């Protein structure tokens, strides 16, 4: 039987950081798919602390839109994208912006989103 106190302490000390492993696994799978089915325009819904545009060849896309409602994750994506006009970060929930995103991702030729 597991000692719950030991488990709790290990978890709090970040020894068994489940989410860290999940992030790496999801990133690996998404990037494998991107490699097989590259796209000029990408919509990333939820980015965590490391948006996927960090992990793809920078010449592989013309537009990348990140929709992120969490303050810290949005701020990280915004900082990372400041120098690149092809990357747009929206500090919103995805379901509230479907029309704007459709316009951007289907019809837009670029430009900053607000």
Chain segment 30-70, per-residue pLDDT in tens: 999 999 998 898 999 888 788 999 999 999 999 999 998 88
- Please tell me the pTM assigned to this model: 0.72
Q: Is 36 exposed, middle or buried (0-12, 13-18, 19+ CB in 10 A)?
A: exposed
Q: Write down the pLDDT at residue 111.
A: 45
**Mean pLDDT computed over 9-20:** 58
Phi and psi at residue 98, in whole multiples of 5°?
-55, -45
**Mean pLDDT computed over 95-101:** 69
When pLDDT is cut at 50, 70 and 90, the band that residue 85 belongs to is very high
């Amino acid at each position: 039987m597991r000692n719950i106190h030991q488990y709790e302490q290990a978890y709090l000390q970040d020894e068994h950081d489940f989410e860290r492993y999940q992030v790496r696994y999801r990133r690996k799978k998404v990037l494998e798919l991107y490699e097989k089915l590259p796209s000029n325009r990408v919509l990333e819904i939820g980015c965590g602390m490391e948006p996927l545009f960090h992990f793809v060849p920078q010449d592989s896309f013309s537009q990348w839109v990140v929709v992120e409602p969490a303050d810290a994750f949005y701020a990280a994506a915004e900082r990372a994208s400041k120098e690149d006009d092809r990357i747009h970060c929206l500090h919103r929930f995805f379901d509230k912006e479907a029309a704007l995103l459709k316009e951007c991702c289907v019809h837009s030729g670029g430009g900053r989103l607000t």
